[in-house]
Amino acid sequence: MPTEQPRPEPGPESVHTPRAAPVPYAQEGAPPDEDGHEPAEAPFLGLLATGAAAEEYERPVLRARAGNASAGRLAALERAKLRALRVRAELEDRRRREAELSALYATAHDLAGLRDLDAVLRAIVRRARSLLGTEVAYLTLHDPSAGDTCMRVTDGSVSARFQQLRLGMGEGLGGLVAQTARPYVTDSYFHDERFRHTRTIDSGVQDEGLVAILGVPLMLGSGVIGVLFAADRRERVFEHGQIALLAAHAAHAAVAIDTANLLAETRKTLTELEAANEIIRDRSAVIERASDVHDRLTELVLRGGGVQDVAGAVAEVLDGEVEFTEPGAAPAEALDRSRADGHAVRDGADWVAAVGAGGEVLGALVLRGHPALDPVDQRTLERAAMVTSLLLLARRTAGEAEQRVRGELLDDLLNAADRDPRLLRERAARVGADLDAPHVVLAARTDGPDGGDDDARSHGADRRRLWSAASHLAATRRGLAAIRDGGAVLLLPLAPDGDPAHTAREAAVRLGAALHLPVTVGASAPVPAPAARPAAVADAYAEAGRCREALRVLGRAGQGAAAADFGFLGLLLADTRDVHGFVDRTLGAVTEYDARRGTELLRTLGAYFACGMSPARTKEALHVHVNTVAQRLDRVSRLLGPDWQTPARALEIQLALRLHQLSSAVVGDTGA
């Protein structure tokens, strides 16, 4: 018959030796009290020093009573005894906690060194029994397939039926612990009605003879993977400290079990991999590339690398061309799919991985020329896109202060025309801007709300996103950006041969792609040197705003344009009133042809419109054959385009002809 394992013996108590009758304290070299006795605390200090048992603390009082001590002396001894017992209890509690912590530390150390799951489980149960000094300890683990917990390891158990128990959720004390993920303790199992008793479980517990049971959950994250028990075959009260000790042990045990499971899974995986050497050989290069790119990306982040560094590292690892593109330059349909799915998507022979944060798309990583991308390499591209978004966000956070500086500088240019040009140049140099170079002013705005608080809040969020996107665009172009009049204003450098209208259209596309909203952008005429003439910036902003509003009025929201794009209307929108430019854009091809060939196409055009667009009357006015008029008009069609006689174009051409005649007359009068 199995024998019960011996329980831990209590620690030895100090042996009491009879003491002689108290001697006057003066004989020991210290001042006595008023009765000539030693202080009341003295005998108890000795007992504390030797670690005497609690009952020993009663003897100094008994001796004093036997010696007919005074009532005051007896009361002082009683008070000293109680204080000494409290100190002894505190010391005992601290020693106990120290021992528990040492045991818990040793347990964690032992569990950390084990790798086999069965060995880990046996060590957990054995140490639980030792920590609490119980007769039995056991452990159940959750079985996901059956939806219950099964007995896995026992220590001190003698019943085969008990060792094979299974506990459903909420059944028995262990099922209640597994269901609620909280410790439960019972002093007498069969008289406790807090949990559901079943015949199977009660029979097993009865076979084992258990009475007092403590169960604590084994937790991994927020899930219960099992229950750890400590039990006695007699009634016993488990103190709070013991419950906490077993719970702490269970926390270490859960980690050890998880580690052992992971190691077991790893060993199983390795075994399966060893059985599939051909697959390993096929995949090894991919895995090495993934590891290589992980190391490279980690190193890039740690040393403060940039977006192009990430693209270069991924291109080298994947043996292809990887490019970071802005939102407007990436394939729109593929970018939207990647943003929605959260994965890299195929776009013809390329792969596109969206780079974004929250609801904002910051760009895309495009891998070119890899139509059959391996899933691991696809994940590598996605990870690189994630690292790129983190780098862009970090750069944006670091650049917010710079953006504020850029915005304040642009506000000063717009508001204070009397600023010192030298100070403006110095401030611009700090953010990398050159205010002595030609610039163009852009006025950008999203469509306003239709009405209501929700629309107003939504539009406010759109304006903030517009400012963020405009600031990013200005920083990449070494320009300035600020919030103004419910929209954004940008001051961007313009190349000597640059076109403000093209700049406006490009800005509308990029800002619209960043916001996923139509952004209307108006451009001013070039501002030669903003630092030298700050007042010109405000005038240019007013012109850009008029162009932007003209686009919205004409139903061209979401586009970009400058005054030159509006034909003769641009003369009204522009501050410069560039008449010569309008005439040249409208009739330049015809005047150049006349100058080069010596023809009279311009004169024919004037007569044609003056005669109500009638070829017959035109030939009478010019004194030429009607076929000559037809040939000249055909040449005009080739030079100006087939739509030159439409009402809108015809109006612009007639206005240009009239301005050309006026300017020629002015030049003639001046020459005369």
What confidence tens digit (pLDDT) does each residue in 559-594 have? 888 877 765 554 444 445 555 666 677 777 888 888
The string of pLDDT tens digits covering residues 613-639 is: 888 888 888 888 888 888 888 888 888
* pLDDT of residue 595 exceeding 60: yes
Q: DSSP 3-state assignment of 76?
A: helix
d(CA 318, CA 299) in angstroms, rounded, equals 17
Smallest CA-to-CA distance from 350 within 338, 366, 336 is with 366
Tokens of 315: 């291109």
Residue type, 266: T
pLDDT at residue 654 tops 80: no
CA distance 422 to 409: 13
Cβ neighbourhood burial of 461 (10 Å; 0-12, 13-18, 19+): exposed
**What is the pLDDT, as a whole number, of residue 8?**
43
Q: Is the dihedral of CA 377, 378, 383, 389 positive or negative?
A: positive
Between CA 479 and CA 493 the distance in angstroms is 6
* Cα-Cα end-to-end distance for the chain: 138
Confidence of residue 484 (pLDDT cuts 50, 70, 90): confident
The torsion region of residue 623 among left (phi > 0), alpha (psi -120 to 50) and beta comes to: left
Q: Please tell me the distance from the alpha carbon of residue 528 to that of residue 129, in angstroms, as a whole number.
A: 87
Q: Given pLDDT bands bounded at 50, 70 and 90, which one contains residue 251?
A: confident
In three-state secondary structure terms, 401 is helix
DSSP category for residue 437: S
Of 18-27, 279-288, 428-437, 495-504, minimum mean pLDDT range: 18-27
Alpha helices in 195-239 (DSSP H): 199-208
pLDDT band at 248 (very low <50, low <70, confident <90, very high): confident
Asked if 435 contacts 494 with a C-beta cutoff of 8 angstroms, the reply is no
Determine the pLDDT at residue 110: 61
Residues 423-452 have a mean pLDDT of 78
Grade residue 208 by pLDDT with cuts at 50, 70 and 90: very high
Sorted by sequence, the CB contacts under 8 Å of residue 161 that are 6+ apart come out as 203, 204, 207
Q: Of 475, 530, 524, which Cα lies nearest the Cα of 503?
A: 524
CB 527 within 8 A of CB 441: yes
DSSP at 58: G
Instruction: Give the full edge-to-edge strand order of the sheet including 184-186.
Output: 166-168, 148-155, 136-143, 223-232, 212-220, 184-186
Give, for 362, the enclosing helix (H) or strand (E).
strand 360-368
For residues 419 and 523, which has the higher predicted lDDT (pLDDT)? 523
Q: Of 200-214, 290-304, 616-630, 636-650, where does mean pLDDT reach its minimum? A: 290-304
The answer to whether 610 touches 596, Cβ cutoff 8 Å, is no
**319 Cβ neighbours under 8 A, 6+ residues apart:** none
- Residue 430 has which token pair? 């700090």
More confident call, 452 vs 57: 57
Q: Minimum mean pLDDT among 8-22, 135-149, 150-164, 174-188: which range? A: 8-22
Query: How far is CA 424 from its chain centroid?
Result: 38
| R_g over Cα of the chain | 46
Is the separation of the CB atoms in 323 and 306 below 8 Å? no
CA 378 vs CA 147, 254, 291, 313, 375: distances in Å: 37, 35, 13, 15, 5
pLDDT at 51 over 70: yes
Q: H helices then E strands: how many in the chain?
A: 22, 15
The sign of the dihedral angle between the CA atoms of 98, 104, 108, 111 is: positive
Report angle CA 324, 327, 329 to the nearest 5 degrees.
75
Q: CA 409, CA 513: separation in Å to the nearest integer?
A: 27
Q: What number of other Cβ atoms are within 10 A of residue 266's Cβ?
A: 10
Those residues with Cβ within 8 angstroms of residue 309's Cβ, 6 or more apart along the chain or in another chain: 300
- pTM of this prediction exceeds 0.95: no
Q: 5 by DSSP, 3-state: which?
A: coil
Sign of CA dihedral 219, 223, 226, 230: positive
Nearest to 299 by CA among 283, 287, 284, 310: 310
Token pair belonging to 170:
């909420």
C-alpha 172 chain-centroid distance: 44
Q: How far is residue 154's CA from residue 634's CA, in Å, rounded to a whole number?
A: 105
Q: Could you give the CA distance from residue 508 to residue 521 in angstroms, rounded to a whole number?
A: 6
Residue type, 265: E
Contact by Cβ (8 Å): 353, 364: yes
